[in-house]
C-alpha cells in the first residue's frame, strides 16, 4: 500500500470550443489508492472501461496483494528455475536492478521480507511488536538484488534464494506511464494522469496553460498544505516521504520506507523527496532511492545523475529545503 505523495491543484473548465475533442475525466480505485485522470481526447475515443482494464492488467502482473499475479507466483516459484514473465514486468525488474546497482543497494525490490516483517506489506510476518535484531538479521538473508537474474532474450527471470519481490516503489509509476501510453495511443492532445500522487502530464490544462501541481508540506497534521508549486510541461513527478504511512511502537514512530542495507526503517532528517523525470516509473523509484540514501548521500546521487529533485528535511527550527539546478526550471515563484 503506498502513500499519497502530491496534492494536486487543478482548475477545470466545463466546456471546450473544439468540437472534435472534448475534456473527459475518470476516477476510481487501483493499487490501494485513488486515480484521477483529466484528458482532452477525440470524442468517444476513451472510456472508463479501457482505463480500468489497463490498471487491472498492471495489478494482475505486479501486485503482491493478488495471490495469482505474476509477481506473487514468482515469489512462490521454485529457486534456480527460470519462470517466463510478461515483457513489461521484465522491463520494470530490469529498471529496478539498474537503480540497485547505481545506488549500492539503497534501492532494492527484494526488500519484501523486511517490509512484511515491519507490518507494511501484503504478507505481514511480524508478531505485532517491533521486530528484534534476530528477526531482522533473518529477513536480511533473503534480501539482495544480486539474487535476481533476468533473461531479456527468453523474457524470463529466476531467483537464487527464497526472495520476495515488492514493487510498491515502482509499479504505481509504471501504471501511470501505462495509462498515459493508452491516452497517447488514442490521440489525446492533453492529459494529466494521477495515481495516488504519481503524476504525468501532456500538453496543457483546460485553461490552455501548463499543468501545475502543488507539492505538500511533509507533515501529517498539515494535510493539503502546499510547500511549493511546480509546472509540469509533459513530464512526470513523484514524491516520497515518511509523513503519511508509518507505525508507532513504544512512543517511537517508524517510517514505512525500509533501508534494505540495514533492515531498519529510515531514521534520518529527510522528510520528503520530489523527483521530476520523463518517466513516472523512474521518478517513483528514484524518490524512494533518494529517501533511503538520506539528505547528504541523496543529494550527491542527485547531483551525479543530474536529477531534478527537491529535498525537504527537518531541523529543530522547522523544515528546510533545497533543490537541484534542473528542478529550478519547474518551480513557480
Report the 3 state secondary structure along 273-316.
EEEEECCHHHHHHHHHHHHHHHHHHHHHHHHHCCCEEEEEEEEC
Helix 87-103 to helix 48-62 angle (10° resolution) is 60
Report angle CA 22, 202, 166 to the nearest 5 degrees: 115
CA distances from 29 to 52, 122, 196 (A): 9, 17, 9
pLDDT of residue 162: 96
With 0-12 / 13-18 / 19 or more C-beta atoms within 10 angstroms meaning exposed / middle / buried, residue 252 is exposed
Phi, psi at 240, each rounded to 5°: -115, 140
pLDDT of residue 243: 65
In CATH, what is the architecture of 65-159? Orthogonal Bundle (1.10)
pLDDT of residue 223: 66
pLDDT of residue 217: 87
Instruction: Identify whether the C-beta of residue 33 lies closer than 8 Å to the C-beta of residue 4.
Output: yes
Instruction: Return the domain boundaries, the chain.
Output: 21-58+170-330, 65-159
**CA end-to-end span of the chain:** 34
Range 21-58+170-330 has CATH code 3.10.520.10: yes
Please name every residue paired with 51 in a beta bridge, in sequence order, or none if there are none: none
Query: For cell 485522470, what's the residue?
Result: 37
Q: Which residues of 97-119 are buried (b: 16+ CB within 10 A; e: fewer)?
A: bebbeebebbbbbbbbbbbbbbb
Longest dimension (CA), the chain: 66
Cell readout for 323 is 533543490
Q: How many of the other CB atoms lie within 10 Å of CB of 53?
A: 11
Tell me which residue of 166, 240, 179 sits closest to 52, measured CA to CA: 179
Tell me which residue of 230, 209, 202, 219 sits closest to 272, measured CA to CA: 219
In this prediction the pTM is 0.92
The domains spanning 21-58+170-330 and 65-159 adopt the same CATH topology: no
Q: Which residues of the chain have pLDDT under 70?
A: 1-19, 220-223, 243-244
pLDDT in tens, 154-212: 999 999 999 999 999 999 999 999 999 999 999 999 999 999 999 999 999 999 999 99
Amino acid at each position: 500500500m503506498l502513500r499519497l505523495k502530491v496534492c494536486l491543484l487543478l482548475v477545470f473548465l466545463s466546456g471546450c470550443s473544439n468540437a472534435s475533442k472534448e475534456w473527459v475525466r475518470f476516477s476510481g480505485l487501483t493499487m490501494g489508492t485513488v486515480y484521477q485522470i483529466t484528458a482532452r481526447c477525440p470524442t468517444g475515443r476513451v472510456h472508463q472501461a479501457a482505463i480500468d482494464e489497463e490498471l487491472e492488467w498492471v495489478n494482475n502482473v505486479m501486485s503482491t496483494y493478488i495471490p495469482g499475479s505474476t509477481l506473487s507466483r514468482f515469489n512462490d516459484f521454485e529457486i534456480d528455475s527460470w519462470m517466463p514473465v510478461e515483457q513489461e514486468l521484465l522491463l520494470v525488474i530490469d529498471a529496478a536492478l539498474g537503480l540497485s546497482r547505481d545506488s549500492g543497494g539503497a534501492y532494492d525490490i527484494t526488500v519484501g521480507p523486511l517490509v512484511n516483517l515491519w507490518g507494511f506489506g501484503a504478507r505481514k510476518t511480524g508478531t505485532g511488536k517491533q521486530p528484534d535484531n534476530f528477526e531482522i538479521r533473518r529477513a536480511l538473508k533473503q534480501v539482495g538484488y544480486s539474487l535476481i537474474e533476468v533473461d531479456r532474450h527468453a523474457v524470463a527471470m529466476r531467483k537464487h534464494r527464497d526472495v520476495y519481490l515488492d514493487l510498491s516503489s515502482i509499479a504505481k509509476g509504471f501504471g501511470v506511464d501505462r495509462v498515459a501510453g493508452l491516452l497517447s495511443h488514442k490521440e489525446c492532445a492533453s492529459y494529466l494522469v494521477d495515481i495516488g500522487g504519481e503524476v504525468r502530464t501532456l500538453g496543457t490544462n483546460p485553461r490552455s496553460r501548463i499543468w501545475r501541481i502543488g507539492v505538500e508540506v511533509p507533515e501529517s497534521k498539515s494535510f493539503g498544505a502546499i510547500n511549493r508549486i511546480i509546472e509540469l510541461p509533459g513530464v512526470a513527478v513523484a514524491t516520497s516521504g515518511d509523513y503519511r504511512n508509518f507505525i508507532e511502537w513504544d512512543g517511537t514512530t517508524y517510517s514505512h520506507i525500509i533501508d534494505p542495507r540495514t533492515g531498519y526503517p529510515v531514521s534520518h532528517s529527510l522528510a520528503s523527496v520530489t523527483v521530476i523525470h520523463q518517466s513516472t516509473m523512474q521518478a517513483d523509484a528514484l524518490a524512494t532511492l533518494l529517501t533511503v540514501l538520506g539528505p547528504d548521500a541523496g543529494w550527491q546521487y542527485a547531483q551525479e545523475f543530474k536529477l531534478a529533485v527537491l529535498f525537504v528535511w527537518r531541523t529543530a527550527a522547522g523544515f528546510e529545503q533545497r533543490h537541484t539546478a534542473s528542478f529550478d526550471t519547474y518551480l513557480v515563484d
